[in-house]
C-alpha cells in the first residue's frame, strides 16, 4: 500500500469526481485511476463505484476511509516532525554533566547556544563519571562533560575543554584568610570535610599523605551544599574546584606546593553518528572560549 494510493483515494472521496481529484493531486486521470485500482487490488474489494459519470463510495470504502485518512495524517505528521528535527526547529540533546562541575562556567555557553539554536531542547543529567559512562555507552546520553583521574575506556573519545585548579575552601576568620596561596603542608592538622562525589577525593587525600600532611576527617557527604554549609559554619575545610559555585560565608585560596588541577573534557562514543542537534552542540562546546589553561601538576590516579 503506497501513500500516494491513499492520498488519491481520499481525494476522490472528497470530490466524488475522478477528474477533479486528479487535478487536486496534480496527476493525470489515468494515473489516478490506476492507483485506485492498485489500492483496491491490495485491499481485495471495491472502494469506489462509477455509474453514468457519477462516483459513489462503496460500503467498504466508507469503512476504510477514516482509517486510511488517519494513516495519511500520521505519515504527514511524521514527515513534518522529521523535517523540524533535521532543521533544528524541534530537537533535543541529552547532556550528561559531572555533578562537581560548576554551573557558572557553562552559563555563557548555554545562553549562546540557546540564542543560536532556540529550537533545540537541552536536557541535563547529573552524575558521577562511572554512571555517566554507563549511560553514555547505553545511548541514554548523547554526550557528557566530565573528568576522571584514571581516564576513559577506549570506546570513548575525549576532548579537553579547560583545566581548573583545586582551591581550598575555609570559613571567614580562618587563619588561611591572610594567605594569598595555601601550600599543601599548611593544612596539616585541620578538620577535613570530604566531598564524596568528587572524582578526585582519593587522589587529594593521597597527595596529602605523600606530603606527610595529617588531616582529621570530620565529616563526609555526597551533598555539595551540606559540605559548603559545614565549611561556612566553621566545621572544617575542603578542596573544591576553582570554578565551583561557592556559598556565602566561604573564602577560597589556590592550593600550591604543589599546584593541582583537573581537566574537564567533552566525552563522546567513538564511531557513534551525531544527530544534527548533537553535532551542533558538540561544535558549540568545542568552539566556546573556555578558561585559559591552569598551571601546575595534574593529579594522577592514587
DSSP state string for 243-293: TS---TTEEEEEEETTTEEEEEEEEEETTPPPPHHHHHHHHHHHHS--PPP
Q: What is the Cα–Cα distance from 229 to 250, expressed in whole angstroms?
A: 9
Flag the least confident range among 5-9, 148-152, 189-193. Answer: 148-152
Arithmetic mean of pLDDT, 216-221:
93
Whole-Å CA distances, 278 to 8, 67, 142: 38, 36, 7
Mean pLDDT of 92-97: 91
159 in helix, strand or coil?
strand
Confidence of residue 292 (pLDDT cuts 50, 70, 90): low
* Residue 199 phi, psi dihedral angles, 5° rounding: -70, -15
For 20: left if phi > 0, alpha if psi spans -120 to 50, otherwise beta; the answer is alpha
Grid cell at residue 57: 463510495
Q: What's the pLDDT score for residue 156?
A: 94
When mean pLDDT is compared across 49-53, 183-187, 216-220, the lowest value belongs to 49-53
Residue with cell 469526481: 17
Compute CA 26 distance to the chain's CA centroid, rounded to the nearest angstrom: 44
Q: CA 289, CA 256: separation in Å to the nearest integer?
A: 26
Residue 118: its pLDDT value, please?
86
Query: 294: pLDDT confidence band, cut at 50, 70 and 90?
Result: very low
Amino acid at each position: 500500500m503506497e501513500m500516494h494510493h491513499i492520498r488519491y483515494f481520499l481525494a476522490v472521496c472528497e470530490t466524488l469526481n475522478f477528474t477533479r481529484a486528479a487535478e487536486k493531486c496534480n496527476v493525470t486521470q489515468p494515473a489516478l485511476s490506476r492507483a485506485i485500482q492498485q489500492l483496491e487490488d491490495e485491499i481485495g474489494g471495491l472502494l469506489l463505484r462509477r455509474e453514468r459519470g457519477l462516483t459513489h463510495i462503496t460500503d467498504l470504502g466508507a469503512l476504510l476511509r477514516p482509517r486510511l485518512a488517519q494513516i495519511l495524517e500520521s505519515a504527514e505528521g511524521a514527515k513534518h516532525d522529521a523535517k523540524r528535527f533535521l532543521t533544528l526547529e524541534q530537537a533535543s540533546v541529552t547532556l550528561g554533566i559531572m555533578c562537581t562541575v560548576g554551573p557558572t562556567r557553562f552559563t555563557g555557553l548555554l545562553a549562546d547556544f540557546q540564542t543560536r539554536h532556540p529550537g533545540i531542547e537541552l536536557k541535563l543529567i547529573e552524575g558521577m563519571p562511572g554512571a555517566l559512562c554507563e549511560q553514555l555507552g547505553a545511548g541514554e546520553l548523547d554526550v557528557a562533560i566530565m573528568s576522571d583521574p584514571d581516564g576513559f575506556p577506549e570506546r570513548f573519545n575525549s576532548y579537553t575543554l579547560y583545566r581548573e585548579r583545586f582551591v581550598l575552601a575555609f570559613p571567614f576568620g580562618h587563619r588561611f584568610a591572610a594567605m594569598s596561596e595555601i601550600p599543601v603542608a599548611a593544612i596539616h592538622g585541620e578538620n577535613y570535610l570530604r566531598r564524596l562525589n568528587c572524582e578526585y577525593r582519593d587522589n587529594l587525600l593521597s597527595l596529602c599523605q605523600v606530603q606527610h600532611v595529617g588531616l582529621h576527617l570530620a565529616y563526609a557527604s555526597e551533598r555539595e551544599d551540606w559540605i559548603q554549609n559545614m565549611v561556612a559554619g566553621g566545621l572544617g575545610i575542603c578542596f573544591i574546584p576553582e570554578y565551583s559555585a561557592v556559598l556565602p560565608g566561604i573564602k577560597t585560596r589556590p592550593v600550591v606546593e604543589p599546584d593541582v588541577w583537573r581537566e574537564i573534557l567533552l566525552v563522546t562514543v567513538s564511531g557513534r553518528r551525531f544527530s544534527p542537534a548533537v553535532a551542533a552542540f558538540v561544535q558549540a562546546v568545542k568552539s566556546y572560549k573556555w578558561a585559559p589553561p591552569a598551571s601546575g601538576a595534574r593529579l594522577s590516579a592514587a
